Chains A and B, each alone.
Chain A
Amino acid sequence: MRAVEKREPLVPAWLRSSRMIALYSVVAGLGAWQLAYMGLARTIYFEAYAIHHFLSSPLQVIETFGELYRSGELFKHSYFSLLEFAYGFVLSVVVGIPVGFLMATQKKINYYLDPWVSCIYATPRVALAPIIIVWFGLGILPNALIVFLGAVFPILLNTYTGIKSVRQNLIEVVKAFGGSALQVFFKVMIPDATPAIIAGLRLAVGRAVIGVVVAEWFGAEAGLGYMVYFYSQLFQPGPVFVGIVVLVVFGILSFMALDKAQGWISPWYAYQVRREVHGMEME
């Protein structure tokens, strides 16, 4: 007798989810790296070219991570970089959102500020880093300033675009029901511009991390960028990769935090972002 029964799929569904596949991909990539390194280590080239001064394997990076963590060195560098990031980013938000808003709503202000914003935005900000170090010396403040220069523009410009593209018909609705200018601002302009502003914040996070690294290359006594640079000068790839990995993880976590914030602000948000901001994040 042939039983009519549903066959269990060979691999259960949760193991085939997109998250699990992403995990497999990362594990496979790291595994390939590890095997390639181990293979290379068996050849004569490894000694002949002192490969260990240039390359490191995932397992060695983990080991180095442990060493740096125990010695407290990693904490010191991370703390320094985090402070630069935090100061620079908060300053970018505090300046970028109001200025973007004013430029979008006040024509006169826009006329005065637009050339400056365009010029500074077009300037390669890496080129400004050395002179800022010269002016302000070594320390957290000048580095935070370089972070600010990188992060403020995506926030400012996205706020500007967001406010400019607030839907006029929605403003008219609030006016038609007797809403005041202040009510129009809080009940339409702010919510309608929020997706664009948050997209700007996401771009700014990436820029800020670059800012931290660049600033520390030009002048710092600590920080993850400094650590990366310092150990590459000593031909010690282990700590270099540790620094890079920590920066990457930090960037990813910030992105996830902003995603969470989006979901938390309002459930309509995801829909809104999908519909409107799709083009804005490409840069």
Chain B
Amino acid sequence: METPASKLSVRNLRKGFRSQRSDGSIQVFEDISLEVHPSEFISLVGPSGCGKTTFLRILDGLIPHDDGEILLDGKTVVKPGPDKGFVFQDSSLLPWRTVMDNVILGLELQGIDKREARRKATQYISLVGLAGFENHYPHELSGGMQQRVNLARALIVDPQVLLMDEPFASLDAQTREIMQAELLKMWNQTKKTVVFVTHQIEEAIYLSDRVVVFSARPATIREVVTVGIPRPRSLSVKRTREFLDLADRVWKIIQHEVLKSMGREREEGIR
């Protein structure tokens, strides 16, 4: 039986890709297990190329895995659906749709009445601070505003879990900070369970209850770092001793992994 305390459970997950060059396969994930509690904010960090994004896609059911199981509210995840909200990296808005029509996409795909959907969308558009921009097209918005739409589009389906794939990666440093603070505010209001992928360690620590550090490929969970910094967190916590120590600790784990994988690549290159 699954523990009722878990919103999302990943058990002994394995995934390999068939290699183009040889008959063998490249192992991406080796036996990953993870429990995410309700309303918890979790971040995934790790050396680049370790498969964080692939992991998130598997959680959503966008791509299949080889072995192990994923349970959301005790039910096995088999395919994407409205119980999961996915926030993509940049430029994933449909360019021919206005802000309003982009936000209602998820409801529209479920066949919900358009008028009903629009009414609901108005509420979410103002939640992400874009009231008044309903009839704008994506190309008329800044990068930060586009990501707000992206977020509203995921929230409107009222998902059980919010999967966020480096949503702020392409934003400039200031906009990124503002968006982080805004995201925490919205998370506080909606109390969603969030799995957040990022390559920025300080972003992960600032946002999360726990930071999951992946190893280099084949990825396993190297360590789960609990962030004890009390909430609500203002942006100034990023300069506290406690915060910097945590960042340093996470950074050292990743650095170790990067060096290890570089060594292995060199060996493989010689062979």
Contacts and interface: CB of A to CB of B under 8 A. Distances in A.
Interface residues of A, number: 21
A188 B94 contact: yes
A267 interface: yes
Which 6 pairs between the two chains have the least Cβ-Cβ distance? A176-B86, A178-B81, A177-B106, A268-B96, A179-B109, A191-B96
A174 B94 CA distance: 10
A172 interface: yes
A198 B106 CA distance: 29
A181 B100 CA distance: 23
Nearest to B157: A177
Contacts of A169: 88, 91-92
Nearest to A179: B109
Give the residue among A178, A179, A269 with the most B Cβ atoms within 10 A: A178
A175 interface: yes
Contact of A176 (B62, B96, B110): B62
Contacts of A271: 95, 137, 139
Interface string B79-109: 1111010101001101111000000011001
Interface of B: 60, 62, 79-82, 84, 86, 88, 91-92, 94-97, 105-106, 109-110, 137, 139, 157
Given A175-B62, A177-B86, A177-B157, 16 more contacts: A172-B62, A173-B92, A173-B105, A176-B80, A176-B84, A177-B109, A178-B110, A191-B96, A192-B96, A267-B137, A268-B96, A268-B97, A268-B137, A269-B96, A271-B139, A272-B96
Given A178-B79, A178-B82, A170 B94 contact: yes
A8 B117 CA distance: 53
Given A178-B81, A271-B137, A271-B139, A173 B91 contact: no
A170 B92 contact: yes
Given A267-B137, A271-B137, A178 B95 contact: no
A243 B82 CA distance: 61
A178 B92 contact: no
A183 interface: yes
Interface of A: 169-170, 172-179, 183, 187-188, 191-192, 266-269, 271-272
A176 B164 CA distance: 12
Contacts of B84: 176
B82 A177 contact: yes
Given A175-B62, A177-B105, A191 B81 contact: no
A116 to B, nearest CB: 31
Contacts of A188: 94
B135 to A, nearest CB: 10
Contacts of B80: 175-178
A177 B82 CA distance: 6
Contacts of B79: 178
B137 A173 contact: no
A175 B110 CA distance: 12
A178 B91 CA distance: 19
B94 A173 contact: yes
12 contacts: A169-B92, A170-B94, A172-B92, A173-B88, A173-B105, A176-B80, A178-B80, A179-B109, A188-B94, A267-B137, A268-B96, A268-B139
